[in-house]
Structure 1
Amino acid sequence: MGRISLSCSPRAAVDRGCAMGLALSASQQLQVPSEITEERPWAEVACMGVKMLLLAEAGARKADVAAEESREASMSLSTMKDNLENSTARREQLIKECEEAQLEVAKQISTLQATLEAERRQRDTEFASLMAKERLEFEVKLAALAADKEALTKDLGARDTELATLREEKTSLEDELKAAAYRRGDYKKALRGARKEVRALKASLKHFASSEAGQELIAKASLDSLVLAKRKLDQEYPDVVVDFPDLVNFVIEEMHNEQEEAAEDDAAPTGSREAPSPQESDTSMEDASSKAE
């Protein structure tokens, strides 16, 4: 659609405007107003032609827009139809895939259930066998512990009996120790009495030895003792030569030593002496008995 050029003559403008208006009205099925006639003034006709031209242009633009919208709607409808068909096909494909997936999942679930059931049965069997084994081991250990307990009870009873016997032996030993202590005291008393008797005997012997009869008897006894001692030494030790004067000197020296020990015993007070041990008491008793002999 073009515009009417006003540079042409009015008549040409009117003709052109009318022609274009008629053409547009015929193409767009517009009704031509009855006022557009050649009897009217050219200006009015031109204006009417221009109006008709503008109306034709507006109708043409509307028709173009409607055609474009129709084409777009047609294309959209076709696209939507294609999309709908594609969606339907996709939906059917998805439904089919879902059904297949459901079947596969059902199969897998049934397989897993069967596997789990088999594993559960196997675990139950293993657990039952393990519990039976452990129960048997526990019963064996319990029996062994019961036997150990019985043996320990017997051993404890034997130890109690042994302990009672040891206590009795301890009591008996304590009684014997007390009796030995009493006997030791008796021995000490007897030893003190024997010492007193020995001192008294020594005093009487000293008194007797100071007399003439005692001197003669001592000399005769000493001579006889020396002779007997010399014979005994010769018999027991034939390889050892002992001179008689040496023997006499040895005997005299021993007699002097005994006299000095007796004098020291007489000089020492009884209370200031330390109590002799049982071994010393036994040794002193043996010495006293040997001296008495």
Structure 2
Amino acid sequence: MSQLTLQGLLEAGSHFGHQTKRWDPKMKSHIFTQRNGIHIIDLESTLKMADEAAVFVKKLATEGKTLLFVGTKRQAREIIKTEAKKCGCMYINERWVGGLLTNFDSVRKVIDKYNEMITVSKGEEFGKLTKKEQSLFQKDFSRLDKSVGGIRELKRLPDALFILDVKREKIAVTEAKKVSLPIVAICDTNSNPELVDYPIPGNDDGLKSIQLFVSFMADVYLAGRKEGPQEAGQKPTQPAENGEKKVEEKAPAAKLKSIKVGMQADDSLKSSDLPGKTVKILKEEKIEVKPKKITKGQVLEVEGLGKITLEDEK
């Protein structure tokens, strides 16, 4: 499944780790060797673990679940934003919003405020503000845009996180662990892979390496989204032949003043045909009743009147 290759990882410099003195001993099994005081990452391990992460992410997308991209280091910000948007995911690329996962209700209020400000900025009310008020508005808006602009459509907690740098995004990792959210992450030689569910050993500092890993994850998620309806057992809507809309069979029309409980919709029926309570129709006209069998308490669709609920006639 993996689109990553050994050659591609080498060309991106994904095998370069940190200085040996800065390593995390728990990354030992993913280190190939050291050269000139720099740890060299075992790319065979990278490919293997990237495949495992890809299976998880693709299944996530297939099931219609959400993946939040997180990467706030300067060289990664634009990449995170671009790739997350490409696959229809939300992202955080400026600064982690404290409490996003552990105090979501409070953060949701901030997101709501940001969305309201977007509406105001596009409306006539904004033009009525003084220059000073507009300046203050823009300042506040820019601040919120940096913090929650990438998660403005987040209605609930994401289903998983993709984190670029475990060490830098330690608050995000801590919050995710507290609420038991699975984490997919790039783990450099200075990171603890045991903190995440799907670690991918690799260089999380080099621009080419960042681009390679983030693009890979976005492509995997996008592939899962495209396969989602079929794999989830949902049948895609089939267009009608010859461009005509499929029309459901309609019940026979009946010109009635009232409908009795238990009555069958039929042209020949009259009010006295069946005993029991009746329901008043607002006006006498040709009506169409669905379904044909009528029972007390049922909601009926009546042509020209919309939906009505059967109740006893008073």
TM interval, shorter chain, is under 0.3
State the TM-score, normalizing by the size of structure 2: 0.17
Of structures 1 and 2, the one with the larger relative CO (CA 8 A, separation 6+) is 2
The structure richer in helix per residue is 1
State the TM-score, normalizing by the size of structure 1: 0.18
